[in-house]
Homo-oligomer: A and B are copies of this chain.
Amino acid sequence: MKQHRAEDALRPMSRRLRTLGVVNIGDLQAFLNLVKVKHGITRRESIVSAVHAAKHATMLLDGLACMSTRLQDGCRQIYTFHYPGDFVALHRYVFPQSTEHIEVEALTNCSIGTIDNEVLEQTVRHHPALGLALWRAAMIEASIFRQRMVTMRRPALQRVAHLLSEQLVRRIALGFANNVIPVNQIEVADAAGLSTVHTNRIFQGLRKLGVLSANRHAVEVINKKRLMELGSFDRRYLNFRETLSQWDIRIEG
C-alpha cells in the first residue's frame, strides 16, 4: 500500500535514470530503494532548506521548481527550472561544505525524494553506473547554463522564445501532453534576465505572432515550430537524442 504509492511517485526517477544510461535493473532498483518520498511541498516553499540539503541528495518527483539566487538588489535570478525526475542541488552532493547561496524553490506544489548522502555514496560505490548518471545529470544542467549565456546576448523576444522552447521540449520529453508551461511572467522575466514590464511586452508580441495563446493567465504555446524558429532553438545542448536513441527509451504522451 504505502510501498505501492511510493513506486508510483518514483516513476519519474526510474525514467530519468534510464535516459541517463542506467540500463541494469539491479542498479536502478538499488537506487530507487533508497529514496524517501516527501509529498506536500507547497508553492514558494524552499526545497533545499526543507530537507536539510547538505545531508541529503534531493530530487523532484512531482511539480515544478527552480534553482535561483537572490541578488544584492533584491531581484531573483532563476538559473533553471526543474521538472519531475530532475536532481536538485547536485552541487551540494559533491561540495557538502559549499557556502554558495543557491535556493531551490517550489513554483507549484511539489513532491520530492531524498537519499541520505552517505547511503548514496555507499551505493554509488557498488553501482558505478549510478554515479555516472548523476554526473551526466549535472552536465546537462551545465549545458543549460552555457546555453543561457548565449541566449542572453540575443534580443528579448528571441531570448524568451528560446527559454520557452527549452521548457516545452523538456516537458514533452517527460510525457506532458499539453503545451501549457506552468510559469508566470515574473518567473520568465527572472529566468530570462528581463524586467517584468518588458517581458510583458514580449509576451504580447508572441501572442500577436500567434505563438502563444491569447489566454492572459497561462503560458500556452500554440505554434511550437514558430516558437523554436524565433528562439533559434537547437535541442542538441540538452543531450537528449543521444541518450534516448542509444537506449531506446519511449517518449510517452
Contact = CB atoms under 8 A, between A and B. Distances in A.
Interface of A: 69, 71-72, 75, 77, 79, 90-91, 94-95, 97-102, 124-125, 128, 131-132, 134-136, 138-139, 141-143, 145-146, 148-150, 152-153, 193, 232, 236-237, 239, 241-243, 246
A152 B150 contact: no
Given A94-B136, A142-B142, A242-B95, A232 B77 contact: no
A75, A134, A146, A239: residue with the most chain B Cβ atoms closer than 10 Å: A146
Given A100-B236, A128-B125, A193 B149 contact: yes
Contacts of A77: 149-150, 153
Contacts of A243: 95
A124 B102 CA distance: 30
A128 B243 CA distance: 24
Nearest to A125: B128
25 contacts: A72-B232, A77-B149, A77-B150, A79-B146, A91-B143, A94-B139, A95-B139, A95-B239, A95-B243, A98-B236, A98-B242, A99-B241, A99-B242, A100-B236, A100-B239, A101-B236, A124-B128, A125-B128, A128-B128, A135-B135, A142-B145, A145-B145, A148-B149, A152-B193, A153-B193
A99 B136 CA distance: 15
Contacts of A153: 71, 75, 77, 193
A149 B145 contact: yes
B237 A100 contact: yes
A125 B125 CA distance: 9
A148 B237 CA distance: 18
Contact of A139 (B90, B124, B128, B143): B90
A142 B149 CA distance: 12
10 closest A-B pairs (Cβ-Cβ)?
A145-B145, A142-B142, A97-B242, A99-B236, A153-B193, A135-B135, A94-B136, A94-B139, A95-B239, A152-B152
